[in-house]
Structure 1
């Protein structure tokens, strides 16, 4: 076995071990916080199509959910607000 093959094999095993560990931690401790932005195409009554965005966030009643989750959701909400300002339709005067 060459050095390159052994290095690739060890790196692959370590990656699989890390992925397995993350999966176990997620299963044991659950989801502490999450946020999502969804975009839908909406057809109006006059036949015009536009994008409709929605923001959803949740956090669990845990220490991580209250601390890190609160900060994560606050940053996600700021990003959503910037997205809404950028995609705001032009209003006619």
Structure 2
């Protein structure tokens, strides 16, 4: 009997854990709302990407023709320049 008392007195007493409330228990009356808010609509994003691609392509052509090819950068945007390149490719000149 003394051994039982010693074993009980030496063991620390652990308080009982309280039941934790789940998130769903707290907010049953309030549904979670997901807002679908876009700053730019999809169609505007597509147009913006296409416009940026065209601008980047034109800038790349101007740098390549003007700096690397030692020509006039704005000449690359003229139709005569492209017609001349196509004539060279087709072997007409």
TM normalised by structure 2 equals: 0.35
Structure having the higher strand fraction is 1
Higher RCO (C-alpha 8 Å, min separation 6): 1
Structure having the higher helix fraction is 2
